[in-house]
A and B are shown apart, each in its own frame.
Chain A
Amino acid sequence: MSEYRPHILLSLCLLAGCSNLPDSYAPPIQRKPLTGAEPSPIGTFVNLGEPSADAYIVADVTGYVESSSWRWTRKRPELRFFLDSTEHLKFKADFSIADATLKDTGPVTISVFINSHLLGKVHCADAGRKQFEKPVPAAFLNPKAVNFAALEIDKVWVSKTDGAVLGFILTSAGFSE
């Protein structure tokens, strides 16, 4: 047995040597200090089908995404957007009027407000997809801040069974250059 001892000891030493504990380390590359504010979770445009759309919704938009792309609104859906600059921007909204609600409400008008300033109106006499697009005066907007956009429908559809209120179908909205 004694003849094997050196080999056994050597094997154990080799295994133990594998633990490779380093003696020390030098300071690493220094990261830049954190500055400024947390970037806003909201941007300039939102597709209502996106999971992050909740962050844009202020009021009167349902919490459920339909067909992975749109949501129902109620009377005055309001959204918020973070704008770095306010020059040369257009406000754009894609929406639809449902045939089922139009039958009861008749033609409707949707008024678009930016930070409570009326930007324009869309008259909808028939059902189907609609688009609103209009340049926004810089005076309506606040740079490097949250801005609010509301689309108010003049007549809402009210369910006779449970009193649920539906306005129109909102697919996307926001600012672009």
Chain B
Amino acid sequence: MLQPLSILFGAGFTVAVSLALGRMLLRALSIRLYRQEEHPLAFVVGAACLSVLTFVLCALRVAHRGVFLIVGLAVLALAIRRGAHRPSGESFPALAPFWRWLFVAIFSVYSVLYFFNAMAPEMSPDGIGYHLGLVSRYLRAHGFERITTNMYANLSQGIELLFLFAFAFGRHSAAALTHFAFLVTLAWAMLSYARRFGFPVAGVCAALLVFVSPVVGMDGTVAYNDVATACIIFTVFYLAWIWASGEAGSALLAPLGLVAGFAYAAKYTAFLAVPYVLGIVAWKSFRRGAPVLKPLMLVAGCAAIMIAPWMIKDALWFHNPVSPFLNSVFPNPYVHVSFEKDYAAMMRHYEGLNSDSHIPLEVTVRGGVLSGLIGPVFLLAPLGLLALRSPAGRRLLLAALLFGIPYLANIGTRFLLPALPFVALSMGLAVAGSRVATAALLVAHAVLSWPAIVSRYCAPNAWRLLQKVPVRQALRIESEESFLNFRLPQWGAARMIDRLVPTGGKVFSFNGAPEAYTTHEIVVGFQSSFGERVRDIIWTPLIEAFEPRWLLRFRYPPQPLRQIRVVQTAAGAPDQWSVAEFRLFRGEAELPRAPDWKLRAKPNPWDVQLAFDNSLVTRWRSWQNLYPGMYLAVEFAASEITDSVLLECSHDQWKIRLKLEGMDDSGKWRTLADAPQQSEGKPKPGLRRAAADEVKALGIDYLLIYDFDYRADDFTKNARSWGATLLGEHKGARLYRLD
């Protein structure tokens, strides 16, 4: 019984502290709100404050459960002392009974459904992967760690810090319930917004359209951050239009800026909230003939409070304030330019989507390819265009358009969520004139979104809630272990790692593991430059085209040179330039590599040593597509006489064109050879063992290989050649120790 209580306490405490902070701030600024709207707006404003407060605690490395408890209790005590717990403000005009009861009925039923789903053991892919994986790591470290092996740690994590606050008390499900609080808040805020601006029926309609939507229910009941982000964006919109309507003074600009900045802190792609607010403030101030710069500075300054910590953290630790993006603008050794490019391309192209024309049906009805569905009634979304007739409708559709822009970068269904509240409100405005049509739409949506009904028409693999309400699992009548072991194949792999890997041991995996359920660091092959380097090393003995058997020899008359460089002159994708070994010769003798040589590379200078380490399983790679001007260079302490350069390369770079240049004693560069002579080297024995040794030298002693991993069979068949010992196996996941 203790576990359910700790879960409820963790989530409830986080929500209560957020609400208290928000109310105190709004009331300290004398911002007058309606009674009903104060709750959702205060929660989001307070959540921003709690998030930044948790950031400070993490930065100070004092993120302990006890500290959270003291801070939270102090906030609550202060709020009670200031009377922030008492309701204030006038009430909205009452909703018509029909709409009130319709809203209460549907909202209540789905709230119960969502509550039990959120409280059930967490098993969402990203939730157990990085959202809570990082949260649990921060809690173990009592704050931020400089994690250079997981690019997800470089993203802004404003919502994850709220999860951390809740997780400290109630673990995974407390975090999911915190996200669920944002889902309730979003519906509440939408209804309040519509009531404030005079279209309550449209508000009832829109709030339920969003709240009941299958993908919203799925996402909002797990430890993701999409619904929270949508809620924050909508709050930004809401506060902006309260200010724009002139019903609140300039004091509202401070929380408005904070929440706009919180949008960035929640998710990079929500940064559009900041220019949106600045645009409205500038435009409205200009139209009123009021000063423009001062309110803009206030909003921007408050937004910066939320944004700057994340940018500074990334700039200091990863040399890129917006890591893991814009790596070509902010070159750094932690995230490759090629990764960013591939990742962006992957987000735009989902496997199985043959044409963009399938997207509407996929995101509304099928949900298999794009991971989730918003519900068939959203096929009627074009009706929302009728809202263009009113200023309120135009404002909503403009917001939908703006906050829908990031969807172009990731076409998964859940990435529609930031725009969905605006689309739903415009649909509500369009149909609200007809009571029958509105009620029919809502009832149809409620029926069609019930999990057991959804399963009848969606794709079998659509991301959706379980058909059965997981009451026993939520209340832990069925144990968490039993449920997860049955439902989550990878859960056992995480337990196996904790059981068999000693404390501090690092595990490499090509495809990850549920990091939220293990205390060990999992280095995933695609999540960082480091991971990609390890993966490259392991793949070298497994992929023929990766073996450095392509020998490129530049010959030139013997002469003294101060520097020598190989320049790549071709352009094109998808090839990257790589060199396993760069050797210099005088006659038949290779020049020993002297400690006073200076090695340079462009791009990716950080890995240049990999071309000069005498290891055939490591290589310097450009980690970018080919462009003219890439080079690898050696500078001697004093002029050296050489007459040939040998590059040992792999064949996975057919498009490269190379020339050799040398710098003489006068400091001038000139071409020594226009092209290399090509030959083929013999297969090298012992590459597997050499690769294992390199991986061990990088601090990784364990490999987690799934049956579906590329060439997984090689590890079972050639375990001895790798110098690997099988420690355990669980449902197709094998854990090896590198001896």
| A residues with CB within 8 A of B | 1, 14-15, 18-43, 50-52, 54-55
Contacts and interface: CB of A to CB of B under 8 A. Distances in A.
Contact of B598 (A25, A40, A42): A25
A51 B598 contact: no
Contacts of B331: 19, 21
Contacts of B686: 34-39
B595 A26 contact: yes
A7 to B, nearest CB: 12
B716 A39 contact: no
A38 B685 CA distance: 5
A30 B717 contact: no
A25 B685 contact: no
A19 B332 contact: yes
Given A34-B685, A39-B686, A39-B721, A23 B600 contact: yes
Given A18-B316, A34-B686, A37-B686, A26 B599 contact: yes
Given A15-B315, A18-B315, A18-B319, A26 B720 contact: no
Contacts of B717: 41, 52, 54-55
B720 A40 contact: yes
Interface in B702-739: 716-721, 723, 726, 729, 734
Nearest to B322: A15
A34 B685 CA distance: 7
A26 B597 contact: yes
B613 A29 contact: yes
Interface residues of B, number: 45
Contacts of A18: 315-316, 319-321, 330
A5 to B, nearest CB: 14
A38 B718 CA distance: 10
A33 B687 CA distance: 11
Contacts of A40: 720-721
A148 B720 CA distance: 19
21 contacts: A1-B293, A18-B316, A18-B319, A18-B330, A19-B331, A26-B595, A27-B593, A29-B613, A30-B613, A31-B614, A32-B614, A38-B685, A38-B686, A39-B686, A39-B720, A40-B720, A41-B721, A43-B720, A51-B726, A51-B729, A52-B717
Interface stretch (B42-50, B190-198, B604-612): B604-612
Nearest to A22: B605
B538 interface: no
Contact of B600 (A24, A30, A36, A38): A24
B521 to A, nearest CB: 24
Query: Which one of B311, B600, B615 has the greatest number of beta carbons of chain A within 10 Å?
Result: B615
B684 interface: yes
B599 A52 contact: no
B723 to A, nearest CB: 8
A114 B391 CA distance: 91
Contacts of A50: 726
Contacts of B635: 24
Contacts of A31: 613-615, 690
B609 to A, nearest CB: 4
Contacts of A51: 716, 726, 729, 734
Given A14-B315, A20-B319, A24-B599, 20 more contacts: A19-B319, A19-B332, A27-B594, A27-B595, A30-B593, A31-B613, A32-B614, A34-B684, A34-B687, A35-B686, A36-B685, A36-B686, A38-B687, A39-B686, A41-B718, A41-B720, A41-B721, A52-B716, A52-B726, A54-B717
A141 to B, nearest CB: 19
B506 interface: no
B596 interface: yes
Interface in B611-626: 612-616
B598 A15 contact: no
A39 B608 CA distance: 30
Nearest to A55: B717
A115 to B, nearest CB: 21
Query: Which one of A38, A42, A50 has the greatest number of beta carbons of chain B within 10 Å?
Result: A38
A29 B612 CA distance: 9
Contacts of A43: 720
Given A27-B593, A34-B684, A35-B686, A41 B613 contact: no
B320 A21 contact: no
A54 B716 CA distance: 9
Nearest to B717: A55
Give the 5 A-B residue pairs with the shortest CB-CB distance, closest first: A24-B598, A27-B593, A51-B716, A31-B615, A28-B609
B720 to A, nearest CB: 5
Interface in B300-337: 311, 315-316, 319-321, 330-332
Given A26-B599, A31-B615, A37 B685 contact: yes
B434 to A, nearest CB: 52
Contacts of A34: 616, 684-687, 690
Contacts of B734: 51
B148 to A, nearest CB: 14
Contacts of A14: 315
Contacts of B595: 26-27
A93 B690 CA distance: 34
B321 A15 contact: yes
